[in-house]
């Protein structure tokens, strides 16, 4: 069995810059944090050697990606999770929805190995993994090619000078709004109060997304089909209350709707 060797310098969490670099269409990776955590055990190495090649996909510079063509049989829907961590949420949703194709983006090797364990154990043929910068995938995806998108408990980067590293920002939400079909969903979650306010401000500034909450419990309580993870359990045990933001992709821009009246 060959040893798994990370390809290049990447990170544990995909962070999209909120500054000019995020709007630059050049293929430039911008990732912060660790690429790999504790030393990989033999089983994790085996999964990376044997299972990863069956589910991993890569990006060709400048080439578009049709997500349905990544699967032997085109799935009914495509769901995207950016920064899936240990893959608990992604694996559980993939097991529940075998007719949906799941794209998971996560460059942290240890987290990918955990997902691969579930892929092998549950025979999840509807999962595909990208170990790269999520910005590159978002640029390659066509308009309306994704039905749901998830960014759950990303690194809050609490220091003011690091806010530009936050994954959820106006630029990333604008890209998600483009690739999610009208009527589709973008689901965000965090246990960091300041990041929750930041996320909501970015969401309200995006004209193609509508916040679906009507009452406090809509953002204090998880959606009906929510999958809790160990990270969320740790946050609650520490006294941090998660915030859940569900955004619907508008059928029309608000400005267009006003013009048509």
In a domain, 9, yes or no: no
- pTM reported for the whole predicted model: 0.84
pLDDT at residue 232 greater than cutoff 50: yes
In a domain, 11, yes or no: no
- Domain residue limits at 96: 20-259
In a domain, 4, yes or no: no
Rounded mean pLDDT, 154-161: 93
Number of Cβ atoms within 10 Å of the Cβ of 241 = 10
Catalytically active residues are 155
pLDDT given at position 35: 53
Please tell me the total count of domains within the chain. 1
In a domain, 157, yes or no: yes
CATH at residue 229: 3.40.50.150
* Contact by Cβ (8 Å): 120, 91: no
In a domain, 174, yes or no: yes
In a domain, 2, yes or no: no
In a domain, 253, yes or no: yes
In a domain, 222, yes or no: yes
The band of 212, judged by pLDDT with boundaries at 50, 70 and 90, is confident
Q: What digits encode the pLDDT tens for the residues 1-35?
A: 333 343 433 333 333 333 333 334 444 455 544 55
């Amino acid at each position: 069995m060959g040893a798994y060797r990370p390809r290049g310098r990447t990170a544990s969490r995909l962070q999209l810059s909120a500054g000019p670099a995020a709007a630059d269409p050049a293929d430039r990776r911008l990732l912060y944090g660790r690429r790999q955590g504790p030393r990989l055990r033999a089983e994790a190495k085996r999964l990376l050697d044997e299972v990863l090649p069956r589910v991993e996909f890569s990006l060709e510079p400048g080439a578009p990606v049709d997500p349905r063509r990544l699967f032997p049989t085109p799935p009914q829907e495509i769901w995207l999770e950016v920064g899936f961590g240990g893959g608990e949420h992604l694996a559980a949703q993939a097991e529940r929805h075998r007719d949906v194709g799941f794209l998971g983006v996560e460059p942290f090797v240890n987290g990918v190995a955990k997902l691969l364990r579930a892929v092998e154990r549950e025979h999840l043929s509807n999962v595909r993994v990208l170990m790269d910068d999520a910005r590159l995938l978002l640029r390659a995806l066509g308009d309306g090619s994704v039905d749901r998108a998830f960014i759950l408990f990303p690194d809050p980067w609490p220091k003011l000078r690091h806010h530009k590293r936050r994954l959820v920002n106006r630029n990333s939400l604008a890209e998600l709004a483009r690739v999610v079909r009208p009527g589709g969903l973008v689901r965000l979650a965090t246990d960091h109060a300041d990041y929750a306010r930041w996320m909501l401000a970015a969401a309200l500034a995006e004209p193609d997304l509508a916040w679906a909450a009507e009452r406090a419990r809509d953002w204090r309580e998880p959606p009906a089909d929510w999958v809790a993870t160990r990270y969320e359990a740790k946050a609650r045990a520490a006294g941090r209350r998660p915030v859940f933001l569900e955004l619907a992709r508008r059928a029309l821009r608000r400005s267009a709707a006003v013009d048509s009246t």
